[in-house]
Structure 1
Amino acid sequence: MKTLRLAACLAMVLPMFAKAQIPISDVDLTRFYLRLGASLVYPDDNNTSLKYYLLQDWELYRTHWEVEDDTTWNVSGVWRPLPYLGVELLYIGDSDHSLTLQNFRATPGQDNIYFGRYSASSANLFVNWYMNDLICLGQPYLGIGVNYSDYYDDELNPDFQRYLINSGMATGPGRFGMGHSWGGSAQLGIDWRLGRGIARSWLINAAVIYTDSNPDAEVTYPTAPGYERLYSEFETNPWTLNLGITYEF
Structure 2
Amino acid sequence: MKLEGSSVKKLPVAAAVMAVVAALSGPAMAYQAGDVIVRAGAATVDPDVDSGKLKANGAVVNPADPTTVDVDSDTQLGLSMTYMLDDKFGIELLAATPFQHTIKTKGGLASLGKLADVKHLPPTLTLQYYPMDSSSAFQPYVGLGLNYTTFFDEEFKGSNKTAFRGLELKDSWGLAAQLGADYRIDDNWSVNAAVWYVDIDTEAKFKSADGTTKYKVDVELDPMVYMVGVAYKF
Q: How far off is 1:89 after superposition?
A: 0.9
* Range with greater deviation from structure 2 (33-42 or 226-235): 226-235
Match of 1:10 in 2: none
Match of 1:241 in 2: 226
Match of 1:36 in 2: 40
* TM-score with structure 2 setting the length: 0.80
1:79-126 CA distances to partner (integer Å, 9 max, x unpaired)? 11222211111113211111110113575xxxx622111111111100
SS at match of 2:180: strand
Instruction: Say if 2:46 and 2:74, in contact at 8 Å, map to a contact too.
Output: yes
Q: Does residue 1:155 correspond to 2:142, yes or no?
A: no
Q: How far off is 1:200 after superposition?
A: 2.0
Q: Distance in 2 between matches of 1:182 and 1:92?
A: 17
SS at match of 1:215: strand
Matches within 5 A, 1:1-249: 2=2, 28-58=32-62, 61-105=65-109, 113-161=113-161, 164=163, 173-194=164-185, 199-223=186-210, 227-249=212-234
Q: How far off is 1:57 after superposition?
A: 2.0
Which runs of 5 or more structure 2 residues have no equivalent in the other structure? 5-29
Instruction: Say if 2:39 and 2:231, in contact at 8 Å, map to a contact too.
Output: yes
Match of 1:9 in 2: none
Q: Distance in 2 between matches of 1:98 and 1:246?
A: 31
SS at match of 2:159: helix
Structure 1 moving runs of 4+ over 3 Å:
26-29, 159-162
1:196-241 CA distances to partner (integer Å, 9 max, x unpaired)? xxx2210111111111111211112344xx5331111121111110
Instruction: Say if 1:85 and 1:130, in contact at 8 Å, map to a contact too.
Output: yes
Q: How far off is 1:53 after superposition?
A: 4.1
Instruction: Say if 1:100 and 1:116, in contact at 8 Å, map to a contact too.
Output: yes
Amino acid in structure 2 at the alignment position of 1:189 = G
Higher RCO (CA-CA < 8 Å; seq separation 6+): 2
Amino acid in structure 2 at the alignment position of 1:240 = V
Q: Structure 1 residues 59, 83: CA separation in 2 closer, same or farther (over 3 Å shift)? A: same
Instruction: Say if 2:140 and 2:181, in contact at 8 Å, map to a contact too.
Output: yes
Q: How far off is 1:68 after superposition?
A: 1.3
Q: Structure 1 residues 87, 217: CA separation in 2 closer, same or farther (over 3 Å shift)? A: same
- Which has a greater percent of helix? 1
Percent of pairs with identical residues: 27
Q: Distance in 2 between matches of 1:53 and 1:215?
A: 18
Q: How far off is 1:54 after superposition?
A: 1.8
Q: How far off is 1:3 after superposition?
A: 7.8
Task: State the superposition RMSD in angstroms.
Answer: 2.4
Match of 1:14 in 2: none
* Range with greater deviation from structure 2 (239-248 or 128-137): 128-137
1:40-76 CA distances to partner (integer Å, 9 max, x unpaired)? 1111222112212421221894322221111101111
Aligned residues: 209
Which runs of 5 or more structure 1 residues have no equivalent in the other structure? 5-25, 165-172
Amino acid in structure 2 at the alignment position of 1:146 = L
Amino acid in structure 1 at the alignment position of 2:60 = Q
Q: Distance in 1 between matches of 2:195 and 2:122?
A: 15
1:130-186 CA distances to partner (integer Å, 9 max, x unpaired)? 121133110111100000111111111233346x4xxxxxxxx42211031111101
